[in-house]
Amino acid sequence: MDINLANLPADEKQKIELDKQAAYAVWKVVNNKAESSLFEQEAYALTEWQRDFYLQCVEKYRAQPEAFIIPEQEPPVS
Protein backbone atom coordinates (compact mmCIF):
# COMPACT_ATOMS: atom_id res chain seq x y z
CA MET A 1 0.00 0.00 0.00
CA ASP A 2 1.49 3.30 -1.08
CA ILE A 3 0.81 6.40 0.98
CA ASN A 4 1.64 9.86 -0.26
CA LEU A 5 2.81 11.72 2.84
CA ALA A 6 2.02 15.06 1.21
CA ASN A 7 -1.66 14.13 1.24
CA LEU A 8 -1.79 13.53 5.00
CA PRO A 9 -3.52 16.01 7.31
CA ALA A 10 -1.24 18.62 8.91
CA ASP A 11 -1.33 17.00 12.36
CA GLU A 12 -0.23 13.64 10.94
CA LYS A 13 2.65 15.32 9.08
CA GLN A 14 3.63 17.00 12.35
CA LYS A 15 3.65 13.65 14.15
CA ILE A 16 5.97 12.20 11.50
CA GLU A 17 8.33 15.15 11.90
CA LEU A 18 8.29 14.84 15.70
CA ASP A 19 9.03 11.12 15.43
CA LYS A 20 12.01 11.85 13.16
CA GLN A 21 13.20 14.59 15.54
CA ALA A 22 13.01 12.17 18.47
CA ALA A 23 14.91 9.46 16.58
CA TYR A 24 17.66 11.91 15.65
CA ALA A 25 17.91 13.20 19.23
CA VAL A 26 18.28 9.64 20.56
CA TRP A 27 20.91 8.93 17.90
CA LYS A 28 22.90 12.00 18.99
CA VAL A 29 22.73 11.06 22.69
CA VAL A 30 23.56 7.37 22.14
CA ASN A 31 26.59 8.34 20.03
CA ASN A 32 27.80 10.98 22.52
CA LYS A 33 27.13 13.86 20.16
CA ALA A 34 24.76 15.53 22.67
CA GLU A 35 23.87 15.45 26.36
CA SER A 36 20.74 13.63 27.50
CA SER A 37 19.31 17.03 28.45
CA LEU A 38 18.71 17.48 24.71
CA PHE A 39 15.35 15.70 25.06
CA GLU A 40 14.07 18.20 27.60
CA GLN A 41 15.47 21.15 25.66
CA GLU A 42 13.69 20.12 22.48
CA ALA A 43 10.47 19.20 24.31
CA TYR A 44 10.39 22.61 26.02
CA ALA A 45 10.00 24.37 22.66
CA LEU A 46 6.91 22.33 21.73
CA THR A 47 3.21 22.73 22.49
CA GLU A 48 1.62 20.36 24.99
CA TRP A 49 0.36 17.66 22.60
CA GLN A 50 3.59 17.87 20.56
CA ARG A 51 5.68 17.57 23.72
CA ASP A 52 3.77 14.50 24.87
CA PHE A 53 4.07 12.84 21.47
CA TYR A 54 7.77 13.73 21.14
CA LEU A 55 8.60 12.32 24.59
CA GLN A 56 6.66 9.11 23.81
CA CYS A 57 8.76 8.73 20.66
CA VAL A 58 11.97 9.40 22.61
CA GLU A 59 11.06 6.61 25.04
CA LYS A 60 10.26 4.29 22.14
CA TYR A 61 13.70 4.86 20.62
CA ARG A 62 15.58 4.84 23.92
CA ALA A 63 14.25 1.31 24.46
CA GLN A 64 16.32 0.15 21.47
CA PRO A 65 19.67 1.99 21.75
CA GLU A 66 21.57 -0.71 19.87
CA ALA A 67 19.80 0.40 16.70
CA PHE A 68 21.45 3.82 16.99
CA ILE A 69 25.08 2.88 17.69
CA ILE A 70 27.56 3.75 14.97
CA PRO A 71 29.63 0.62 14.29
CA GLU A 72 33.37 0.87 14.66
CA GLN A 73 35.05 1.10 11.28
CA GLU A 74 38.34 -0.53 10.46
CA PRO A 75 40.96 1.86 9.06
CA PRO A 76 41.53 1.30 5.33
CA VAL A 77 44.44 -0.98 4.48
CA SER A 78 46.98 0.67 2.19
Q: Give the Cα separation of 24 and 19 in Å (integer).
A: 9
Q: Give the Cα separation of 16 and 3 in Å (integer).
A: 13
What would the pLDDT profile of 23-78 be if each residue is shown by its tens digit?
Answer: 999 999 998 899 999 999 999 999 999 999 999 999 999 999 888 887 777 777 76
- At 5 the pLDDT is 87
22 burial type by CB count under 10 A (0-12 exposed, 13-18 middle, 19+ buried): buried
DSSP assigned state of 65: G
Our CA dihedral for 48, 49, 53, 54, rounded to 10 degrees, sits at -40
Q: How confident is the model at residue 3 (pLDDT cuts 50, 70, 90)?
A: confident
pTM, two decimals, is 0.83
- Decide if pLDDT at 12 tops 90: yes
